[in-house]
Chains A and B, each alone.
Chain A
Amino acid sequence: MSKLVLKNVSRRYGTFKAVADFSLELAKGEFVSLLGPSGCGKTTTLRMIAGFAPPSTGTIEMDGQQISSPSGVVPPERRRMSMIFQSYAIWPNMTVGENVGFGLQVRKMSRAEIDRRVDAILDVVQMRNLKGRYPAELSGGQQQRVALARAIVVEPEVLLLDEPLSNLDANLREEMRFEIRRLHDEFKITTVYVTHDQSEAMVTSDRIVVMNKGRIEQVDAPHVLYGRPRSRFVAGFIGRTNFLEGTRNGSDVRFDGFTAPAVAVEGANGPGELLYSLRPQAVGLTTRKPGGPGLAVEAEITGRAYLGEYWDYQVRPLGGAKPIRVSTAPTSIFEVGSHAWLEINPAAIVRVE
């Protein structure tokens, strides 16, 4: 049975539709991210799951029981969930130990039991030695760990995270992503994670829900989302991509400067000009004509940028007008103006809407 089920949930503020027709099922122990630009409705969705807002239409169920509907909402304090807030919401008037122990205290556990569990979870997040400190004496990353410990120690049915890393600096953010995933692997708590950062979502999640303007664009595992984006929005939002216009011409699809067999290109069956996505990483760049199974297209280097981890080349097929962006290893160097060969795997060209 699914742990958490959202059925046709929507949320309106006046005439503005913050979330529209949102349906999703989470398996027990699954880690799902809601990913999208700010204002796309992901935080609103999370707050509906938490019980801070009722849905305008639709229902939310946990373990088969309805917890939210337009006519009534189980209040947040009775949902047995926990949440990590964007601001962490660590209470500055309580020590680390008191913060973490709060939820257990509410659950009327004995003092000794609370102590034992608090110490255990503080060990997990490596904060045991700071138990007596006040939050103002902690760094951002340490506060984040306290928030994690406080949320996990109560063994919630569902863990909700609202952009938990957005206030950290870049290095710490990277570290904490793995920390969150590690904790998930250890405790197997069903988790909904809201973020606007695609790499955060990709590192942590089993599945990613890409949202745009209150609607779901696509729900898939990270690698599928990247390799097989289904809409222009997803292709553009997750990573970088080339948008190519292609027209069906008999058994071929004709692109700007090259053609590909239609059978090899996914979704190339409609008439007229259609839009396709081709990831810069899916294209090879060689000095000699490649002998592999892919398409070989002779091209001219029109621009380049060195980004340390890779080269970002702009390469124009000789018969075409617009350059294609290609990422290569930092060791493969081509001069601007020189000729080279593109190696394109037609299966990497994906039709998008």
Chain B
Amino acid sequence: MPQLVSHPDEVKVVSRRFGQGAAEIDKYIELDGYKAVQMGIEQGPEWIVNTMKASGLRGRGGAGFPTGMKWSFVPKTSDKPKYVLVNGDESEPGTCKDHVIFLHDPHAVIEGTMIAGLAIGAKMGFIYLRGEYRYLLKIVEKAVADAYAKGFLGKNIFGKQGVDFDIITQTGAGAYEVGEESALMESLEGKRGVPRIKPPFPAVVGLYGGPTVINNAETIANAPHILLMGGEAYAKLGSERNGGTRLFGISGHVERPGVYELPMGYSLRKAIYEVAGGIKDGKKLKAVVPGGSSCPVLKADEIDCGLDFDQMAKAGTMLGSGGIVVLDESVSMVEFALRTIAFYQHESCGWCIPCREGTDWLKKTLTRFHAGGGNKKDIDNIQYLAENMMGRTFCPLGDAAAMPTLGFIKKFRSEFEEYLEGVRVEHPLIHIKPVGELAMAGAGH
């Protein structure tokens, strides 16, 4: 089990049971576990939804949609069964928050799922883990089995007649794309992981055609805490219109990388320099990717902003999934751009043309550029490709590839230009193999 980190500025809500053995159900119960869901049963769905609305909790997956509102969109009555779907397909590079929740506090996800089920009138929930988290499945499955054994899941839960809830766990097969909610539903139904046309939205037509609430695992894990502490109290922890706290995974060239729970709106600069202990080995900060690899990069002088959805948007980037990647002066932005785009090229599902072909050409061009076969026009071409992918693709994956690319080109254009002159930023650890002769063969223009 990886080491847990901590810092005095942390406000522990969703992480309060971390490191205390709460994966065991008895320990979890001892730490106020399964109280919130029983409150929910007593108070009824309307109370749950109102509390969630009051909490100002916004989706922790990256889009930041208000959770209470999402739950309220589900129709009260439906011919088809309703479902709760937990998105644990945590695939955004730089993000590792759901991972620690599943590891340390799986019951919080289970309890949160049940609360969401109560709120929308669903009797079944699914916990979907990314394929690469298969080793966490054992922990989650054991937690689910324990909950069944205690009578917390199944028929007449907590001894309440007519209150039923079941949970099924499932892993993906290793595709970033199924982190997108509708692609996740396709995958869960056993089909190719490609997104669906919206509308209809999942709240109306979701999994197996039934109304479905789909939430990120961290969002769901927050629900029990919110019910216990009250919506307003939770909201107050955060900033305006950004309730509560959030897990931030700070990685890269910092002294103390790790997952920290910080209040929404917390300063990015402080997060890097105080919470994570500053830049490693006394080097200079070069850039920060603030919310997972799809967010436009921030330069060293742009980090004086608060970590919430609205402030990050104002800064021209996104809060995203809370994966803060810190890059020091030793990083070549050309190399970093290639790394980033190689990921999206590999993960593009291929459904729509701009993403499928765009990421492929971006990767090909950057590969040649990086190998030393580039020319000045390539920089314009990379920008042209990215600009023409933005907003034109079927799902946000195309944007996720285009946004950071535009960031690299716009903010570090001079470095790309110098790269052509032979100026290299060398890093002792990161090394991308030069491309083969094939790509070079076409580099003659």
Instruction: Tell whether A and B belong to one assembly.
Output: no
Instruction: List the interface of chain B (C-beta within 8 A of A).
Output: none
Instruction: List the interface of chain A (C-beta within 8 A of B).
Output: none
